[in-house]
Amino acid sequence: MNHTKKTALITGASRGIGRACARTFAAAGYDLYLTCLRSEQTLLAFKKELETVYHIKCHTFLCDAADYVSVTCLFSYIKALDVLVNNAGISYVGLLQDMSVTDWDKVIATNLSSCFYTAKCAIPLMLAKKRGRIINISSVWGNVGASMEAAYSASKGGINALTRALAKELAPSNIQVNAAAFGCIDTDMNRQFSKAEWEAVRNEIPADRIGTCQEAADLVLQLAQAPAYLTGQIITMDGGWI
């Protein structure tokens, strides 16, 4: 048994950025805990693939990141953890005055409260190891705000503030907390946009293209492996967009 193996939990790993993170961490030799909301079969097939290709251990769970009880249930299976990647998230596009209170609560719970729930459960495990990394997936809209995405922007702005504050709280305990704030990444989250809207966005991006999930995952792994003195940072990766 390899005692130097590290373990990472990635939420929302059935597709998109979370799935790319899982593959990238597996390739780097991490054992994995992967969650998603309801795509159990997809995640199980992915687990088998990762274990076969990368010779790591992978555990999969259905877990609603927006629900504290569901998160505590997940953590009852996790005995040690080196890296927590808070990736699960949803978007909401629409005018704020038309948004229902239920939809507001869902965006804030899924994107922001989830980071509190997982961190609350993960910190004792990291304190026991005297080290740990928490990486929160944020967005450029958390930095500058987006019209028609006020709730989403508020949730990601909240993540940025949580990241900075928690980093100060945990630095004395050798636990680093950073966030990756992505611009436009090619995932299902953006499928609602028409071809013309995609083109309009692309035209605004100096790099002249949408980012890939692999690029996002590469940054997350680099944050997991960065020098321990890097903490409390919101690293924006957006092709020079914002």
Judged by DSSP in three states, 51 sits in: helix
In this structure, the dihedral spanned by the alpha carbons of residues 19, 61, 105 and 158, taken in order and rounded to 10 degrees, is: -50
- Who contacts 112 (Cβ-Cβ below 8 Å, separation ≥6)? 155, 156, 158, 159, 162
User: Which residues are the active-site residues?
Assistant: 152
CB of 90 to ligand NAD, least distance (A): 5
CA distance 7 to 20: 16
For residues 18 and 157, which CB has a smaller minimum distance to ligand NAD in the complex?
18
For residues 189 and 226, which CB has a smaller minimum distance to ligand NAD in the complex?
189
Is residue 25 a contact partner of residue 49, using CB atoms and an 8 Å limit?
no
CB of 190 to ligand NAD, least distance (A): 5
φ/ψ of 61, rounded to 5, equals -145, 140
For residues 143 and 174, which CB has a smaller minimum distance to ligand NAD in the complex?
143
CB of 4 to ligand NAD, least distance (A): 29
- Which residues contact ligand NAD by CB under 6 A? 11-18, 35-37, 63-66, 87-90, 110, 137, 139, 182, 184-185, 187-190
